[in-house]
Chain A
Amino acid sequence: MNQYAALIPFFPLAGFVIIGLMNTKLPKNVAAILACGMLLISFCLSLGVFMNISGQSNEVQLAPWISVGSFSASFTFLLDPLSSIFLMIITGVGFLIHVYSVGYMHDDEKHNIFFAYLNLFVFFMLILVLASSYLLMFVGWEGVGLCSYLLIGFWFKNKSYNDAAKKAFVMNRIGDLGFLLGIILLFITFGSSDYHIIFPKAQGFMSGDGMITAITLLLFVGAIGKSAQIPLYTWLPDAMAGPTPVSALIHAATMVTAGIYMVARSGILYALAPVSMFVVALIGVVTAVFAASIALTQNDIKKVLAYSTVSQLGYMFLGLGVGAFSASVFHVMTHAFFKALLFLGAGSVIHGLAGEQDIRNMGGLRKKLPITFLTFLVATFAIAGIPPFSGFFSKDEILAHAFTSNKLFWVLGVIGSMMTAFYMFRLLFLTFYGTYRGNEHKVHAHESPKVMTIPLIILAILSTIGGFVGVPESLGGSSQISHFLDPVFKPAQDKMMLLEGSSSVSEVALMGITVAVVLASILLAWYLYISRKRVPAAEGARLPALQNLSYHKYYIDEIYTALITKPLDKLSEFFKNIVDNKLIDGIVNLSGKATEAVSDLMRFVQTGNVDFYLLAMVIGIACILFFKLM
């Protein structure tokens, strides 16, 4: 099986090459079927790998890559439980999104190239998770950055979409720099970037080693950029500019989970650096609460979901930071299901309303889009963490670990999940309940075609039952996913020597508290938006101070503009006007002018008289001989 596993990423690549090269020569449905088919093959292979993995890890060497001096790198894929889970998520959810896109992008003029990009995106993400060295992972890492740029700016005729794409790219670049520095440090420290060399060696290091701390912090900078954490999260909400399936792909299956994967993969290194762990957890939990508080007041259906992604990613980092690696991966999985579902559902709504994204102009869509509504409802339950939907198990496992690690993290996490429940139900109620607030005559809301609803239904089923692979022992489950991932995280867990403090009784109690808080905030949302039929204020209306702050996203973008962009602009302006235009151009022009002036002077020497030239020659010869004499 493993030798076929190496082919997994190359099917999407083949799809990209074929569709990309043929482009418009290919009929639309052929391109769509090709793209989906390639991913389906990859998914089947991934499934085979997943079934056969049984705990051990295999390396599949494909080809040598770089060999310079003592340095060598090869295209080698690593197959272990962690990468196989990610393979499943990427190919599975990716496949559903592809199928959904067939319906969603059907009328787009760049239909074929869209599928080519999607395939390329999946290819790079697969490279990222299959890589057996940080260097190869970096290839995939950069590749997804590129694809996200291409897809966010897919409708590049709109300037603001273009700006959003550039923003995503630049923000990622900042993170990538950290990641790259981390890789270089790894190379300096361990003499290689291969996992199978680094991880065993790392076990010999002392906990809290300075070098390891530096490496892990730098790697985390990369993860911050890619996974949209404070302070580099602002690109993700703007990434909504892309077509909705792209948002689903970026938020659920690919791209943002790369940071989680990387930190989880480097678990042993993080286990050796308590400081880094604390930073990861802190940034994670702060992001979780911060983004959730922004999501409370957003009116764009996709923006709300975007901030919820940032917030959920914060939970994942919280899990990683407190050492709950398998819980984080579990949450990545469940999040992939329900977030893909939410985005695709939102896409279905937008599709049904002919491009309307503002929830103030929606309402009462329950009857008109029944399938979308039901699946959206499932996803909302899942993200809010209501048992027995999938999000409940994964999030509560993270919170339980957070509780044993640091009580403050737990409190913040619970506040975050309370907000999550509130804004998700606010979104649900405003969109699907009440009465339609848009222009009834202009837009005929309609249910999406089957090719879009079937992926929704499949994802809804997964969101519902996906959590059962990780039912904790305290609830009578067997926590299969953590056992499955155990071989990967065992060394890290051993290093951490986790205090298994919380008994199962208190774990159940914690769950009770969380669920109670969540239900309370759902009731609050019900009261505000169903009973009192409140609708968010129109644009420009005066809001209470806190609400205003949240509505304007704490003015973070404006602060970045003022603190970073503006001074950089000024500096660039300075370099352009003074250094480049005056100094460098001046030097260049001066050399030109000087040559011209000297030539003008020398022109008089060129009399055209042969005898004058001869005279000059004779004097020259005399001079040369004279100098020889001296």
Chain B
Amino acid sequence: MTVYLFIVLGVLAVLSALMVVFTKNPIHSILYLVLTFFAIAGEYVLLNAQFLAIVNIIVYAGAIMVLFLFVVMLLNLNKETEPHKSMLRKLIAVVAAGLLMVVLVGSLKGASNMSIQPFSHNTGLIENLGTVLFNDFLLPFEVSAILFLAAMVGAVMLGKKDIK
């Protein structure tokens, strides 16, 4: 049952990811990307990381993708205006990516042989994550707040109409 779920979700993720790349209309790309994120969130659930699954949907599918949509709408890019690259360069892109994948898979093969701990149901639960986050990673957590502030200031500054 789990295995089938994994396969279905995996295939869904890969296919929709491919559609993100190959669809001509940016709006469609965004929608396919949302689908991919949902599939990945499903995989998180399979891995017993419910909290991250929810966060993934809220942050990525909810917030970030909406932001993308906004931009596309604002810039009026929802037409197939994009000039296409030459076939040769497309071929090169596909070959390079495929090459990288082969090498990547090859080099990551050994990673699964590391000692695997007995499975615990608690790992991905929000209670456990919160304990770790606010004990071991308190400082990075606070620093990320500063990061957000900086990003916000940057975004506002860049988005202003008249940059002196």
Q: Is there a chain B Cβ closer than 8 Å to A618's Cβ? A: yes
B107 touches A628 (CB 8 A): yes
Q: Give the Cβ gap from B101 to chain A, nearest Cβ, in Å.
A: 9
CA distance A618 to B97 in the complex (A): 8
Q: Which residues of B contact A625 (CB under 8 A)?
A: 100, 103-104, 106-107
Q: What count of chain B residues pass the 8 Å CB interface test?
A: 11
Interface residues of A in 568-624 (CB under 8 A from B): 611, 615, 618-619, 621-622
Write 13 A-B pairs (CB below 8 A) sorted by A numbering.
A611-B89, A615-B92, A615-B93, A615-B96, A618-B97, A618-B100, A619-B96, A619-B99, A622-B96, A622-B99, A625-B100, A628-B107, A629-B106
Total A-B contacts with CB atoms under 8 angstroms apart: 24
Q: Which residues of B contact A71 (CB under 8 A)?
A: none
CA distance A12 to B73 in the complex (A): 92
Q: Which residues of B contact A629 (CB under 8 A)?
A: 103, 106-107
Interface centre among A615, A619, A625, A628 (most CB of B within 10 A): A625
CA distance A622 to B93 in the complex (A): 13
Size category of the A interface is 10 to 19
B71-112 contact mask (Cβ, 8 Å, vs A): 1 or 0: 000000000000000000100110011011001101100000
CA distance A629 to B99 in the complex (A): 13
Q: A interface, by DSSP: helix, strand, loop or mixed?
A: helix
Q: Which residues of A contact B99 (CB under 8 A)?
A: 619, 622
Pick the contact of A618: B89, B96, B106, B107 (CB < 8 A).
B96
Q: Which residues of A contact B100 (CB under 8 A)?
A: 618, 621-622, 625
Q: Give the Cβ gap from B118 to chain A, nearest Cβ, in Å.
A: 31
Q: Which residues of B contact A618 (CB under 8 A)?
A: 96-97, 100
Chain A residues proximal to chain B, CB less than 8 Å: 611, 615, 618-619, 621-622, 625-626, 628-629
CA distance A625 to B107 in the complex (A): 7
CA distance A419 to B103 in the complex (A): 101
A622 touches B103 (CB 8 A): yes
12 extra interface residue pairs, beta carbon distance < 8 Å, beyond A622-B100, A625-B106, A629-B103:
A615-B96, A618-B96, A618-B97, A618-B100, A619-B96, A622-B99, A622-B103, A625-B100, A625-B103, A626-B103, A628-B107, A629-B106
Q: Which residues of B contact A619 (CB under 8 A)?
A: 96, 99
Q: Which residues of B contact A626 (CB under 8 A)?
A: 103
Q: Give the Cβ gap from A58 to chain B, nearest Cβ, in Å.
A: 73
CA distance A611 to B96 in the complex (A): 12
Q: Give the Cβ gap from A627 to chain B, nearest Cβ, in Å.
A: 10
Q: Give the Cβ gap from A548 to chain B, nearest Cβ, in Å.
A: 92
The residue in chain A whose Cβ has the minimal distance to the Cβ of B85 is A611
Q: Which residues of B contact A611 (CB under 8 A)?
A: 89
Q: Give the Cβ gap from B3 to chain A, nearest Cβ, in Å.
A: 29
The residue in chain B whose Cβ has the minimal distance to the Cβ of A623 is B103
The residue in chain B whose Cβ has the minimal distance to the Cβ of A619 is B96
CA distance A626 to B104 in the complex (A): 8
Q: Which residues of A contact B93 (CB under 8 A)?
A: 615
CA distance A28 to B25 in the complex (A): 97
Q: Give the Cβ gap from B70 to chain A, nearest Cβ, in Å.
A: 24
CA distance A629 to B96 in the complex (A): 17
Q: Which residues of A contact B97 (CB under 8 A)?
A: 618
Q: Give the Cβ gap from A617 to chain B, nearest Cβ, in Å.
A: 10
The residue in chain A whose Cβ has the minimal distance to the Cβ of B92 is A615
CA distance A628 to B106 in the complex (A): 10
B29-69 contact mask (Cβ, 8 Å, vs A): 1 or 0: 00000000000000000000000000000000000000000
Q: Give the Cβ gap from A616 to chain B, nearest Cβ, in Å.
A: 10
CA distance A626 to B103 in the complex (A): 6
Q: Give the Cβ gap from B55 to chain A, nearest Cβ, in Å.
A: 29
Q: Give the Cβ gap from A274 to chain B, nearest Cβ, in Å.
A: 84
CA distance A626 to B107 in the complex (A): 8
CA distance A124 to B93 in the complex (A): 81
CA distance A430 to B87 in the complex (A): 109
CA distance A626 to B100 in the complex (A): 9
Q: Which residues of B contact A622 (CB under 8 A)?
A: 96, 99-100, 103
Q: Give the Cβ gap from B98 to chain A, nearest Cβ, in Å.
A: 10
Q: Which residues of B contact A621 (CB under 8 A)?
A: 100
Q: Which residues of A contact B92 (CB under 8 A)?
A: 615
CA distance A32 to B40 in the complex (A): 99
Q: Which residues of A contact B106 (CB under 8 A)?
A: 625, 629
Q: Which residues of B contact A628 (CB under 8 A)?
A: 107
CA distance A358 to B81 in the complex (A): 104
The residue in chain B whose Cβ has the minimal distance to the Cβ of A621 is B100
Interface centre among B89, B103, B104 (most CB of A within 10 A): B103
Q: Give the Cβ gap from A257 to chain B, nearest Cβ, in Å.
A: 80
Q: Which 10 A-B pairs have the closest CB atoms?
A: A625-B103, A622-B100, A625-B107, A622-B103, A618-B96, A626-B103, A622-B99, A629-B106, A629-B107, A618-B100
